Amino acid sequence: VLLAALHVGKKRVRAILHAGFIAWEPSNPKQAHERHQVPLTDIVTVLCSGATFTLVYGKRRPSSHEWRLQRTTFVASDATTAEAWTAEARRQIEAQKHRPRRVLVFINPYGGRRAAPRIYERRVRPLLELAGIEAEEIVTERPQQIRETLLEASLDNFDGIACVGGDGTFSELFNGLVARECRDAGVPMTSASLPRPRIPLAVIPGGSTNTVAFCMHGTDDPTTCAMHLVLGQRAGLDLCSTTSSDPEGARLYASVLSYGYLGDIAKESERYRWMGPRRYDYSGLRKFLGNRGYRGEVSVLLDHSDPAAETSKCVEGCERCNAPVDDATEAPTSDTETPWQVIRGKFLMVNGANISCACRRSPCGMSPSCHLADGCVDVILVNHTHIFNNLRLLLRLSSRKGSVAQLPFVRVLRARGFHFRPHDGGNGSGAATGSQQPIAPSGGKQSVWNCDGEVLTEGEATIRPHRQLVTVFRRPLVDPEEPGCALCS
């Protein structure tokens, strides 16, 4: 315990360092309401110069998920007092073993608006240097370079791996890391139980939509994401695997796998990469006006605890995500407990959401109550209807309130896995898992899958969630308090 009378600016304060906190309040009893308290887990570093020392710490902005760097300078009566406070604070900070000391950083200079190098230099590197974290930086020059590096390089000296880029960059990162673990353990990527990498991951938003970062941190602000990396708190993140008839096509995704409308957008937008992020708006408008539907069969293995995906949002203290991993991933005991449900029809979209898929353009996402680490996937089926219903869908996705599940032509199911078989115009004699009936024949081409922004051309797919397969640098989301009326308060 340290106690001292210090000065902050012109105010004389009483300060205490105890039980993992530094707290101070004005010595004047009339100003006792101005008490401040900072957890040592939020302090990036402590700087000392003569009789002054400065706390550099992160603080969440009111009514927001964004964090900002704060500095408070204390003036002690002498240099010995300042040095004692600095030494003790640093000692307790260094004792926090969860903080990274050396990280590997991949920077994608081509994603989104090509802002990743600037974001790293201005928003990330200064924080890493301030915290005394050594970083090895690799600027990518070609697709799959991250995967190749992770498969070949020695990672023994790193206690964190980060990427500055979009959802596709992060996808390449965790696919490469899990592929390395599978290779070392002799386990195929198609296995129902994949080995968990030991190194935690971080994603610094530098892409077009930054869905994964937005869902993990509640914001796509690079400073917030970099601060969570520096402070070192971590938690599990589900990944879903998608496999097809080609075993080599096994792939993991973190946000959403979508067949139909979003798959068509991803495929066509590749022709307009020169347009930058606006290519998605252009391709989306074209596909919206086309209003094309696709016939198929979806076989869903329902989650018996919440089949209709009606639980509350995933926030701090989430019971679903905090349940023991072994209990939540046990195989179902019977088909009655977790029944297969088979749905046939013509769909605008078939989606497997691993997270809510919220972003700036869609603040609530496809499935607002989807959880980050509960071992389930939300299957979102959008029936093919009139184009005006598609407009209702897009308006609901861009709204800050409500859910697409409230629309009569949308169905959301929480599942332990699902299988999709498109109609290919043949005799439809094949049956999907859980089904013994063929799909009625109908003309028309197949769509493709949009997998974390990448195009997968194989139509038939089996999707399986893997609970907390990777560890990521993040803090549990806290529901920000609603801002009050300035006049009333």
Is 156 an annotated catalytic residue? no
Looking at the domain covering 98-232, what would its CATH class be?
alpha beta
How high is the mean pLDDT in each 10-residue block of the chain (489 residues)? 93 93 89 86 96 96 93 96 96 95 96 89 97 97 95 95 95 96 94 95 92 95 97 96 78 95 90 78 89 95 82 83 64 54 95 94 92 95 95 92 92 95 58 36 71 88 96 88 44
Tell me what pLDDT residue 480 has. Answer: 65
Name the active-site residue from 167, 220, 378, 452: 167
- What is the Cα 372 distance to its own chain's centre? 8
- Nearest Cα to Cα of residue 146 among 125, 129, 168: 168
The reported pLDDT for the residue numbered 430 is: 35
Dihedral pair phi/psi, residue 15, rounded to 5°: -120, 150
Q: How is the chain split into domains, by residue range? A: 2-95, 98-232, 239-315+339-423+445-465
What CATH architecture applies to the domain 239-315+339-423+445-465?
A: Sandwich (2.60)
pLDDT (0 to 100) of residue 301: 95
Q: Are 340 and 299 in contact (CB under 8 A)?
A: yes
- Three-state SS for the chain is CEEEEEEECCEEEEEEEECCEEEEEECCHHHCCCCEEEEHHHEEEEEEECCEEEEEEEEECCCCCCEEEEEEEEECCCHHHHHHHHHHHHHHHHCCCCCCCEEEEEECCCCCCCCHHHHHHHHHHHHHHHCCCEEEEEECCCCCHHHHHHHHCCCCCCCCEEEEECHHHHHHHHHHHHHHHHHHHCCCCCCCCCCCCCCCEEEEECCCCCHHHHHHHCCCCHHHHHHHHHHCCEEEEEEEEEECCCHHHCEEECCEEEEEHHHHHHHHHHHHHHHCCHHHHHHHHHHHHHCCCEEEEEEEEECCCCCCCCCCCCCCCCHHHHCCHHHHCCCCCCCCCCCEEEEEEEEEEEEEECCCCCCCCCCCCCCCCCCCCCCCEEEEEEECCCHHHHHHHHHHHCCCCCCHHHCCCEEEEEEEEEEEEECCCCCCCCCCCCCCCCCCCCCCCCCCEEECCEEECCCCEEEEEEEEEEEEECCCCCCCCCCCCCCCC
Q: Rounded CA gap, 120 and 438, in Å?
A: 52
- Which pLDDT score, from 0 to 100, does residue 310 have? 73
Which CATH class, in words, describes the domain spanning 2-95? mainly beta
